[in-house]
Amino acid sequence: MITSLRLLDFKNFADETLRVGPFTVIVGANASGKSNIRDAFRFLHGIGRGYTLAEILGGKHLGGQAEWQAIRGAPNEVGRVADAEPGSRFALEVQLRLDDINAQYLIEVSRGAGESGVFRVSREKLSAGGWEPVYTSHPYYPDPVRDQDDDTHLLLRMEKTGTQRKYGDRIAVRPDQPALTQIQEHKRIAKPHKDKAQRVIDALASMRFLDLIPDSMRQPSFPGQKILGDSGDNLPTVLREICADSKRRQTLIDWVRALTPMDVDDFQFPVDPVTGLVRLVVLEKGGRTCSAYSVSDGTLRFLAMLAALLADDPTRFYFFEEIDNGIHPTRQWLLLELIEKQTATGAMQVVTTTHSPALVTSVNDATFTNTSVICRPEDATDAIIRPVDGLPDAEKLRKSQGLGRLLAGGWMEDMIVFTKDTEKPDA
């Protein structure tokens, strides 16, 4: 489980840390930087998938088809330096709890000078198990941001265990790809080091960023598709797989019945006789049927979130933007209840952004602890991240006025501006 994310000179963050829990809620005004948090997590996910820096930031194609969408923004806009001068850099640092060990992973990325402007890893470190260093890396050259040939290597310094703490083998790795996903190739690296690195890779690889589009969810699915697409594609066949288990089928029915006025009795998945594609039909009591084409956008979004959260082998980490979109304010507490219940088991994490006062009003105590506000003060370009529970009198005002009222009235941003020159609360 990811426990924190630190952003250094990444987009509009100078040096900010996001506290991450089982269910993390992020609030803030438009253009404050909420989507940049998503981009940071996507960058880490790209590392977990084994991509190069150019692929993570610029997109990856396989056989002419897009396998990975580029991180939002032009190359000059990834780092915080306004003019993106040669030598500008950014870094991300993530802390994780992986069953029996804690891990910390840091990567710093620099841009080369000259017209190429190639991104290179300029610093990287992995610690695991009581913060024992697993490896550190740095370039051979003293100037990591000047233009270098493609065969330039990083120096991977493996840390030996024991009392002397001497550096071990020096292993050459490419600077255009994080060392984390290269060290498995080297026979000289000890298996315990590889195993720790692989656990971090697995955690970063198991992420999903769902941007649900109702029109995609309404489309029939090809038989056998069991993975929900990021836009909600394959919803009929994914739900059919869930409904094959009677217990999960009833759970699905109960949640939809509670969320909507529809008196849902069952789900049907007829196969089109011409195309062979699987459709989604909702069966209400009394025999009335409602196809996916007639189901409301909000109900479809909720069904897709249920499909993700109730899957046999759920992803470890989900990021939703505006999770409340299309769901009536009086029913948003049901969505919260579902997510809080699912994430409490420790099997998955959910991070979401929201503008909804109704949603934040309903968060439980654990989620309140992991609710943060992002604020960009007036006439400033840098954004600030603060845990809401660390703002003055937040707990007391939450009980007396409600968190939603504080959000709607701009109190959170006002408190950040008022206290921004004081020491940051612990992340």
For the stretch 118-176, pLDDT in tens is: 888 888 999 987 666 788 886 544 444 444 444 444 556 665 554 444 445 577 788 88
DSSP 3-state of 43 = helix
Exposure b/e, 165-202, CB count within 10 A at least 16 = b: eeebeebebbbbbbbbbbbeebeebeeebbebbbbbbe
SS3 track for 203-245: HHHCEEEECCCHHHHCCCECCCCCCCCCCCCCHHHHHHHHHCC
pLDDT-derived band at 112 (thresholds 50, 70, 90) equals: confident
Compute the mean pLDDT over every residue in the chain, rounded to the nearest whole number: 85
Residue 317 β-bridge partners: 207, 349
Name the pLDDT band for 356 (thresholds 50, 70, 90).
Answer: very high
**What is the mean predicted confidence (pLDDT) over 53-64?**
88
In this prediction, residue 313 has a pLDDT band, given cuts at 50, 70 and 90, of confident
Residues 110-114, mean pLDDT to the nearest whole number: 73
pLDDT of residue 143: 43
- Output the pLDDT for position 85: 53
Distance of alpha carbon 334 from alpha carbon 312, whole angstroms: 22
- Amino acid at the residue 265: D
pLDDT of 384 strictly over 90: yes
Per-residue model confidence (pLDDT) at position 191: 84
Residue 321 · residue 352 · CB < 8 Å: yes
The pLDDT assigned to 86 comes to 52
Contacts of residue 426, defined as CB under 8 A and 6 or more positions apart, other chains included, come to: none
Phi and psi of 179, rounded to 5°? -60, -30
| pLDDT on residue 138 | 67
CA gap 383, 12 in Å, rounded? 6
* In the predicted structure, residue 179 carries a pLDDT above the cut 60: yes
Separation CA 20–CA 195 (nearest Å):
24
Rounded average pLDDT over 397-424: 86
105 versus 189: the higher-pLDDT residue is 105
Choose the weakest-confidence range: 18-32, 232-246, 259-273: 259-273
pLDDT at residue number 82: 46
Using a pLDDT cut of 90, give the percent of the chain over it: 52
**Mean pLDDT within 330-341:** 89
What is the model's pLDDT at position 88?
A: 77
Are the beta carbons of 338 and 309 closer than 8 angstroms? Answer: yes
Distance separating the N- and C-terminal Cα atoms of the chain: 16
pLDDT of residue 421: 65
More confident call, 207 vs 149: 207
What phi-psi label fits residue 274: left (phi over 0), alpha (psi between -120 and 50 degrees) or beta? alpha
Range in 6-10, 123-127, 204-208 the model is least confident about: 123-127
In degrees and rounded to multiples of 5, residue 243 shows phi and psi of -70, -10
Candidate from 136-150, 227-241, 354-368 with smallest mean pLDDT:
136-150
Q: Looking at per-residue confidence, does 318 or 420 come out higher? A: 318
Question: Stretch 334-347: mean pLDDT, rounded?
Answer: 89
CB 424 within 8 A of CB 13: no
- Report in angstroms the alpha-carbon separations of 1 from 134, 205, 206, 264, 315: 19, 12, 11, 35, 11
Would you say 313 and 204 are in contact if contact means Cβ atoms under 8 Å apart? Answer: no
